[in-house]
Amino acid sequence: MVNEERLSHMIKIARFDTYDDKTCKPMAQYARRDYVSLQMLKSFITGSLVYALIFGMWCLYYMQSLMEELNNINLQESAMTLGISYAVWIVVYEAVTYIIYQLRYTRGRRKIKSYYASLKKVNQMYEREEKLKIPEEKAWDS
Amino acid sequence: MTSLLELREKLIRFYGKNEVLIKPIIKFIVSFAIFFTINKYIGYMSRISKISVVLILSLISAVMPAGIMIFLAAAVILANLFALSLEVCIVALVLFLLIFLLYFRFAPKSEYDMCLMPLCFQMGIPQVMPLAMGLVRGVYSVFSIICGTVLYFFLQGVYQNAATLGAASEVGEDTASKIVVLINQLLGNKEMYLVLGIFFVTVLIVYLIRRMSIENAWTIAIISGTLFEAIGLTAGYILMEIQGKIILTLIGSGISCLIAFLLQFLFFNLDYSRTERLQFEDDEYYYYVKAVPKAIVSKTEKKVKRFTGKEEHLTKKQFAEELDIDEELLD
């Protein structure tokens, strides 16, 4: 006979496995700090790419004037401006990443917690059923 | 009102039962509209601008995840722009990469929101998107509105300047000048900034009012959002001296308001949880679970009470029987 209580927990487990497992898996594997750090590292790479793309477009846009002023450009000053703007951009981008993934981690951990609670309950039910089975078998054996 | 609620109920049940069929059909219609619009306005590559190609791409998008549709749409746009001019294609590629890196990294599941924005612009009802996003999504949907709007104005610029951009060019100065023209028409487009600003605020207004614990929050949110959009855009167009857009804006706002009320009717206080199909097993059984969302309002039990002249003249006995009391108590 189907155990309805166990079934409801198993449905919860299967739902998590189907829909949330992929997104929540890293949250179960990593501690909060490590998870957010990993995302910030990814953001550092994507943020740098974004900056490079925008800088590339800026160069193409001002190509003509850049070519004309090439000999008069103060390289040290330009490098400084570039460095500062890059640093500001990365700090902002990383801050946004930090906030978003902190919130996601909190939400994901909550789901994982309820997933493990369901697993625990199903396990307990199995154990109880096993215990109930043993005396019956013994009685039958004797 | 009850009949409307019943209709809504029937729709939800129908969707719940036939979600496997309805979802791909909706995806097909949306994809077809997107690919058709792309080819209609910027179909510079004749090989992929055929209706058969549009149908095949729409069919693929209907059965594949939304990400595939976005990828195909981006590929079709890039191919068409490549046929027009390499420089335009490069700028478009950079724009797509920026959108991908900045937005889809954080919101991978909102591909359709961004795609629908240019489509609504083309249909003359862009105002519906900020209202819809504010009603059924969160504040983060502001970014899909921004990305979709920028993409629309970029493609519109390409469409309007196709003759200049498509002219044969010599490598060197002409290449740079084409890119300058393209970026100038995007960054120097005052209308785009106006639309971005108005839509940004509208999403916030609609979202914040909708979340308030007041009566008729959704209705107030829709009306406030529509009024803000209509007045803001009209005032902006007058100030910027942009001709011929005011009447279209007002008509678009009216239609958008009606669509927003339709959304309210369909989504207000309702969880369109999908029919879920799960498979798992234990030691004894294999389980194939189909979880269908529960209906909320049951069919109305119609009770019609007629007060006719005949029934007014009840005898004491009949009346006592009806009330199930002793006849003497009525004396």
Q: Which residues of B touch A (CB under 8 A)?
A: 91, 94, 97-98, 101-102, 105-106, 173, 176, 179-180, 183, 276, 278-280, 282, 285, 287, 289, 291
Q: Which residues contact B63 (CB under 8 A, 6 or more apart)?
A: B24, B27
Residue B274's CB is within 10 A of a number of other CB atoms, namely: 15
Express as a percent the part of chain B with pLDDT over 70: 84
Q: Which residue has the higher pLDDT, B254 or B165?
A: B254
pLDDT value at residue B297: 46
In terms of CA atoms, which chain A residue is nearest residue B107? A100
How big is the CA angle at A95 (ends A89 and A101), to the nearest 5 degrees?
130
Chain B interface disruption, residue of A23, A46, A61, most B CBs within 10 A: A61
Express as a percent the part of chain B with pLDDT over 90: 36
pLDDT value at residue B232: 94
Residue pair A17/A86 in contact (Cβ under 8 Å)? The answer is no
From first CA to last CA, the distance across chain A in angstroms is 26
**Residue B278 φ then ψ, to 5°:** -125, 145
> How many Cα atoms sit within 13 Å of A47 on the Cβ side?
20
* Domain range list for chain A: 4-141
Q: How far apart are CA A114 and CA A24, in angstroms?
A: 12
Q: At what angle do helices B2-17 and B246-267 cross, to 10 degrees?
A: 80
Which residue shows structure tokens 């309950």?
Answer: A121
The maximal CA–CA distance of chain A, rounded, in angstroms, is: 103
Q: Which of A34-48, A122-136, B38-52, B313-327 has the highest mean pLDDT?
A: A34-48
Residue pair B218/B270 in contact (Cβ under 8 Å)? The answer is no
**CA nearest to B146, candidates B203, B92, B224:** B203
3-state secondary structure of B284: coil
Residue B94 scores a pLDDT above 80:
yes
Quote the ipTM score: 0.74
The tens place of each residue's pLDDT in chain A, 142 residues long, gives: 667 778 888 888 888 888 888 788 888 888 889 999 999 999 999 999 999 999 998 888 888 888 888 788 888 888 999 999 999 999 999 999 999 999 999 988 888 888 888 889 988 888 888 888 766 555 555 5
The continuous run of DSSP H or E covering B325 comes out as none
B267-279 mean pLDDT: 64
Q: At what angle do helices B246-267 and B217-240 cross, to 10 degrees?
A: 160
Tell me the β-bridge partners of B278: B289
Q: How far apart are CA B131 and CA B142, in angstroms?
A: 11
pLDDT value at residue A137: 56
Q: How far apart are CA B118 and CA B159, in angstroms?
A: 13
- Residue-wise pLDDT for B133-179, tens only, equals 998 888 888 888 999 999 999 999 899 888 888 776 555 556 677 88
**CA nearest to B222, candidates B128, B149, B142:** B128
B258-284 mean pLDDT: 74
Phi-psi region of B324 (alpha: psi -120 to 50; beta: other; left: phi over 0): left
B237-264 mean pLDDT: 90
Nearest by CB to residue A14, choosing from B94, B102, B278, is B278
Q: How far apart are CA B141 and CA B203, in angstroms?
A: 8
B36-64 mean pLDDT: 90
Residue B296 scores a pLDDT above 50:
no
Q: How far apart are CA A102 and CA A95, in angstroms?
A: 11
Q: How far apart are CA A21 and CA A18, in angstroms?
A: 6
3-state secondary structure of B252: helix
pLDDT value at residue B314: 65
Residue pair A51/A89 in contact (Cβ under 8 Å)? The answer is yes
B62-69 mean pLDDT: 88
Of A98-107, B67-76, B302-311, the one with minimum mean pLDDT is B302-311
B113-122 mean pLDDT: 88
Nearest by CB to residue A57, choosing from B106, B183, B279, is B183
Contact yes or no for A50 and B106 at CB 8 A: no
Q: How far apart are CA A121 and CA B111, in angstroms?
A: 38
- Residue-wise pLDDT for B199-243, tens only, equals 999 999 999 998 888 888 889 999 999 999 999 999 999 998 888
- Residue-wise pLDDT for B181-197, tens only, equals 888 888 888 899 999 99
Q: How far apart are CA A54 and CA A103, in angstroms?
A: 29
Average pLDDT over chain B, rounded to an integer: 83
- Residue-wise pLDDT for B4-33, tens only, equals 777 877 887 787 778 788 889 999 999 999
Residue B158's CB is within 10 A of a number of other CB atoms, namely: 25
Set of chain A residues whose Cβ sits within 8 Å of the Cβ of B276: 15, 18
- Residue B313's pLDDT band, with cuts at 50, 70 and 90, is low
Task: Report if pTM > 0.80.
Answer: no
Contact yes or no for B278 and A64 at CB 8 A: no
